Each structure stands twice: as C-alpha cells, then as structure tokens.
C-alpha cells in the first residue's frame, strides 16, 4: 500500500518538473531578438566620423600650401629688395670696373689745353652719350673759344668715385674732382667739384649718359 502511494508521489513530482521545464525549452527554441535597426541619425553620425579624417587631411594640405606660398613670396621679396639687387654691395669687381672707366672718362673730357681741344672733343664723342653729350657739346664751344683766347689749360683729377648703385647695365656714382686752371702769365688756381654721374653699359664699355653738378 505504501509502495503505491510513493509511486504516485514520484509520478506527480516528475510531472511537475516536466511542466516547469517546458516553458524554458520553449523559450530556448524561440529565435534571439534582432538588434534594433540603425536610424538615419546613426548613419549620418557614422558618415561624419568617417569624413573627419579626410576633412582634417584636406585642411592640413591647404595650410601647408598656403604656408609654402607665403614663404616663397617672402623669400622672393627679400631677393628683390633694392639692397640685394644693388651689385655695388656684392660685386666688387664690377664696381671697380665702372668706377675706373668713369674716372678715366671724366679726366679726359674735362681736361684740355689751347692746342688740344680737338682731342678733348673726340674723347667726348666716345665716352659720353645722351643728355651728357648734348650738354657737353652745347657748352664746349664756349670753353674752346675761351681756352684759345686766354691760353687756358684745365687739368682734372678724380679724387674719389663712389658707386652708389649698380645693376647689370646701369650705374650711379658720386664723384669728387680737383681741377687746376692755368692761364699764361698767371698763377695756377685750383677748384673742387662734386658731380652726380649716371653711366650705361654699351658694347662692354661704360658710357656716361648724365652729369649733374651737386
């Protein structure tokens, strides 16, 4: 009798366990929930995150190009300043050449004697040009007559010739002169002069094109 009761109790217990297990099995059989769908806002956010590196790289490229352009312009400006383009400050050989040729030319065209004016005029035709030659030709007629009448001799020495500006084909100089006047029967007299001279390079030779008294 007790055996039947125990069997009935075991059967009831097993049935209850099966009933508890069925919902868990059913839950296990159900598919796992799908992840929530990505919204448009999420897509835009992802695209923005991917776009930032490209935008940053573009900004850096533009900044580098702009900086390079500024540095190039600054370097060019430094190279093109009057100080750096003035060869009188950097080319001692060319500076010495133009100073020497201008010194020689002034000594010849501003020196004459009563019987040597023709040689002086010939030198002026070779060593002067432009405005300087025109002014010289206009005045030398009077000088020539005065020299013949007064037996006047003029000797000019260049004390100093300083090149203030030099380019490949032009030069500006400040020149200090000592001039000695001699008249027959009179003591010699001396005078000083300061000139501003412009010269041009023509066929490998420096020619004076403008002379201004200072």
pLDDT reported for residue 163:
97
Q: For residue 81, is it within any domain?
A: no
Q: For residue 179, is it within any domain?
A: yes
pLDDT in tens, 162-203: 999 999 999 999 999 999 999 888 889 999 999 999 999 999
Is the pLDDT at 64 greater than 60? The verdict is: no
pLDDT reported for residue 179:
95
Of 30-39, 53-62, 70-79, 158-167, give the range with the top mean pLDDT: 158-167
Q: For residue 47, is it within any domain?
A: no
pLDDT in tens, 9-21: 455 554 554 555 4
Q: For residue 127, is it within any domain?
A: yes
Q: For residue 160, is it within any domain?
A: yes
Q: For residue 45, is it within any domain?
A: no
First CA to last CA distance, the chain: 152
171 to 95, 125, 210: CA distances (angstroms) = 9, 20, 11
138 to 103, 107, 133, 143, 211: CA distances (angstroms) = 22, 19, 9, 10, 14
Domain of residue 149 covers 87-213
pLDDT reported for residue 205:
95
pLDDT reported for residue 102:
97
The Cα diameter of the chain in Å comes to 181
pLDDT reported for residue 145:
86
Q: For residue 120, is it within any domain?
A: yes
Supply the CATH number for residue 170's domain. Answer: 3.10.450.230
CA distance 90 to 184: 48
Degrees, nearest 5: CA angle 21-26-29: 125
- The 3-state DSSP class for residue 39 equals coil
* Out of 11-25, 118-132, 141-155, least confident range: 11-25
Task: Report the mean per-residue pLDDT for the chain.
Answer: 78
CA distance 130 to 137: 11
Domain count, the chain: 1
- The 3-state DSSP class for residue 193 equals strand
Q: For residue 173, is it within any domain?
A: yes
pTM confidence score: 0.62
Which residues are registered as beta bridge partners of 161? 175
Is the pLDDT at 26 greater than 70? The verdict is: no
Helix/strand/coil (H, E, C) string of 110-175?
Answer: CCECCCCHHHHHHHHHHHECHHHHHHHHHHHHHHHHHHHHHCEEEEEEEEEEEEEEECCCEEEEEE
pLDDT reported for residue 51:
57
């Amino acid at each position: 009798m007790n055996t039947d009761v125990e069997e009935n109790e075991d059967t009831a217990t097993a049935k209850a366990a099966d009933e508890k297990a069925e919902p868990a099995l059913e839950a296990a059989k159900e598919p796992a929930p799908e992840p929530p769908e990505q919204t448009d806002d999420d897509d835009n956010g992802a695209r923005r995150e991917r776009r930032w590196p490209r935008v940053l790289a573009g900004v850096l490229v533009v900044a580098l190009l702009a900086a390079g352009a500024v540095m190039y312009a600054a370097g060019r400006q430094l190279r093109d300043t009057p100080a750096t383009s003035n060869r009188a400050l950097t080319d001692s050989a060319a500076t010495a050449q133009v100073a020497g040729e201008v010194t020689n030319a002034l000594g010849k065209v501003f020196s004459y004697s009563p019987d040597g004016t023709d040689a002086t005029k010939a030198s002026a035709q070779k060593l002067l040009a432009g405005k300087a030659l025109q002014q010289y030709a206009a005045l030398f007629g009077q000088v020539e007559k005065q020299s013949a009448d007064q037996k006047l001799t003029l000797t000019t020495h260049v004390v100093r010739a300083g090149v203030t500006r030099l380019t490949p084909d032009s030069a500006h100089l400040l020149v200090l002169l000592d001039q000695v006047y001699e008249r027959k029967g009179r003591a010699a007299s001396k005078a000083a002069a300061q000139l501003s001279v412009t010269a041009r390079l023509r066929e490998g030779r420096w020619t004076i094109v403008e002379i201004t008294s200072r």
